[in-house]
Amino acid sequence: MFPLESKVENNLHLISEEITSDPIVYQDSK
């Protein structure tokens, strides 16, 4: 219902996908 909330959820989903698809890159950046 709230556009801003939807946008945040979409961004979190994209970030999660990036981390899941590139676990090695994510670990290296720690």
- The pLDDT value recorded for residue 5 is 79
- The pLDDT value recorded for residue 28 is 59
Report pLDDT digits (tens) over 1-30: 567 778 888 777 777 776 666 656 655 555
Residue 13 is given by DSSP the state H
CA distances (Å), origin 15, targets 6, 22: 14, 11
Phi and psi (nearest 5°) for 12?
-60, -40
